[in-house]
Amino acid sequence: MYVGMATLADWEAFGAAVSALPGLLWVQVVLLSLLSYLLRFARWHHFIVALGHKVPILRNLEIYLAAFALTLTPGKAGETIRSVYLHPYGVSYPHSIGAFVSERLLDLVAVGALASLAVSMFPEQRLWMFAAIACIVIVILLLRSRLLSLIGRRAAGSSVVGHAAKLVATVRFLLSSRRVAVAAPLSLMAWMAQGVSLYLIVDALGYELTASTVVAIYCLSILAGAASFIPGGLGATEAAIVLLLSAAGVGQTDAITASLVSRSLTLWLAVGIGVVAMTKAALANRSTRSAQS
């Protein structure tokens, strides 16, 4: 897919655009990606601690990063592999999966909020953008309500419903005002860091778009990728970045360059780190089980 986009841009022009990017820019984009991962981990660790678990912070970081190896799954569902690695530390499946669901909901809200910065630039998208954000907010309010907890208690005789009720209770607890007051800013800063990395690339290519515009374009593209139901938004997100940057006045070759470089140093860097961390996490998990047996 990436080869196809590069071919569309013309290999020679694409190669020239990439090679023209300064070395410092690559370092800055990688550092912003790492900052984004650390901010997301801080949110995750905050959730795990709030649930009463004491997982060593470096071990928890390793487990968190390991799940990035499976981020290219529908809805990032593969990232629930963390539950397997955390279970030996006493973290129940409803707790770890509830933390995962809470993360995804906060990600949607954060990305939606940042994408709304583009409303004035793309007024034709205003209705569906606000509708999507409204749906997310309604889901969060429903999960925070007592209604689902009441239904769960009424159906406690069913083990499946019982586990689901515990998961919902976990999400409801983590999305309470006290926890969200910490987690929401971390979510916003994490996604803003990735949006800023795209801005730096566009700026280095010689275009004078504002940071808020490019961050909004990045987040709109993430939403488009999520709406496509393609694992990791692969292809859909990149195409959306190109289309929106082109609409903002960026040349096609430069838009493709910005899209591919940005996604390579955000999505694919995460997958690479995840593969390394998963190998270490699997070995550590095996050692823990051997010690317990």
Distance, in Å, from the CA atom of 9 to the CA atom of 15, rounded to the nearest integer, reads: 10
Note whether residue 142 is domain-resident.
yes
CA 17/CA 254 separation, integer angstroms: 7
Q: Is residue 293 part of a domain?
A: no
- pLDDT tens for the 293 residues of the chain, in order: 555 555 555 677 788 888 899 999 999 999 999 999 999 999 999 999 999 999 999 999 999 999 999 988 877 888 999 999 999 999 999 999 999 999 998 998 899 889 888 776 766 666 766 776 777 777 667 666 665 556 555 545 556 666 777 888 898 899 888 999 999 999 999 999 999 999 999 999 999 999 999 999 999 999 888 888 787 888 899 999 999 999 999 999 999 999 999 999 999 999 999 999 999 877 776 766 665 55
Opening angle at CA 231, ends 230 and 233, nearest 5 = 60
pLDDT on residue 219: 93
Q: Within a domain: residue 266?
A: yes
Asked if residue 163 belongs to a domain, the reply is yes
Domain, as residue range, for 216:
2-285
- Does residue 292 lie in a domain region? no
Look at the chain and report how many structural domains it folds into.
1
Residue 141 is assigned to a structural domain of this protein: yes
- pLDDT attached to residue 6: 53
The answer to the question of residue 237 being in a domain is yes
pLDDT for 288 equals 61
Looking at residue 274, what is its pLDDT?
Answer: 95
User: What pLDDT was estimated at residue 118?
Assistant: 75
Rounded CA gap, 218 and 38, in Å?
A: 20
Interatomic CA distance for residues 107 and 110, integer angstroms: 5
Predicted local confidence at residue 31, as pLDDT = 98
Does residue 290 fall inside a structural domain? no
